[in-house]
Amino acid sequence: MTGLTQIPNDVFDDGLWTSEKFTKAQAYCDLYRLAQFQAGMVMKRGIIIELNPGQIGWSQAELAKRWKRSLGWVRRLLKYLEKKGHIALQKTNVSSTITLLNWVQNGTANETANGKQKVQQKDSKRYTNNIVNTENTVNTENTPEGMEFENSIEILWKKWNYNSESLPTNSQKNIIIGALKYNSDVDGFWLPLLQKRRAIKEGGGFTHNSMKYWFESGFSEMETSKKKPEFRKTKTGLNIAYCKKCNEKHFPDEWQLKQGSSCCHVEYVPEPIKQAV
């Protein structure tokens, strides 16, 4: 029978739903609750995996725990559902992704054949599965790693914004997501750089203010502040300077001072360099 039955998410979130061992039919229904309602991502072993609507980012071990079943039971059920054409399993080195082939969104259902995703018209009416907060651009709520991923975004935002209580916009959130795609190591990579950024800014050094540019490449272009040397002046206003290499005394003007010494072509210093005895 064609068509679609809409069930409120509260039914699946009720403690009664997960209070006992799942039946095969119940587990199959639960996959629809766990699926992404829009494009999103999960983090597995430090690697970001992108998910499309109708895909599930839970591992088989996590499903076994949720369903109160053995890992073998879960594998046999998924193999059966795949054989029947209900789902498609895509395995990677770090995880496996489940795609619901009868997932309906905007009037279409997904079908996967020979590893390629196709779209087939199923109904004349338009339905959307799992309608929850559709304004979000990143959906991580249906994955165990979702909270961890959201925490990473929050940590980077607060470090960037100096622990401000303000929330990032969707655009700013997507910038951080892009940064996590580049390197997902928050503690070992991004936090030391953000701490360095703050120290440099407070010390008067240079660092890009554009959040987008900084997270894309500006993090590698920060420079600490160098205290400008102070030169004594002659009565005529010229600088008293010494070649940093040979110690020869010069009287450059401001332009010549910036060019460096005419003798060795190195920078000037305000005092002669003490020679080792």
Distance CA 20, CA 139 (A): 28
β-bridge pairing 116-121 and 232-233: unpaired
How confident is the model over 231-257, as pLDDT tens digits? 999 999 999 999 988 999 999 998 888
- pTM equals 0.47
Q: Is 42 exposed, middle or buried (0-12, 13-18, 19+ CB in 10 A)?
A: buried
pLDDT in tens, 43-73: 766 677 788 889 988 888 888 889 999 988 9
User: Domain locations in the chain?
Assistant: 9-121, 146-220, 232-269
* Neighbour-count burial for 146-185, b at 16+ CB within 10 Å, e otherwise: beebeebbebbbebbeeeeeeebeeebbebbbebbeeebe
Asked whether the predicted pLDDT for residue 108 surpasses 70, the reply is no
Q: What is the mean predicted confidence (pLDDT) over 110-127?
A: 40
Is residue 110 scored above 90 in pLDDT?
no
d(CA 141, CA 143): 6
Give 130-167 pLDDT, tens digit per residue: 444 333 344 444 555 555 667 788 888 888 988 777 88
Assess whether pLDDT exceeds 60 at residue 106.
Answer: no
Place of tokens 């910038």: 175
The correct answer on CATH 1.10.10.10 for the domain covering 9-121 is: yes
Sign of CA dihedral 242, 248, 253, 254: negative
Q: What is the pLDDT of residue 120?
A: 38
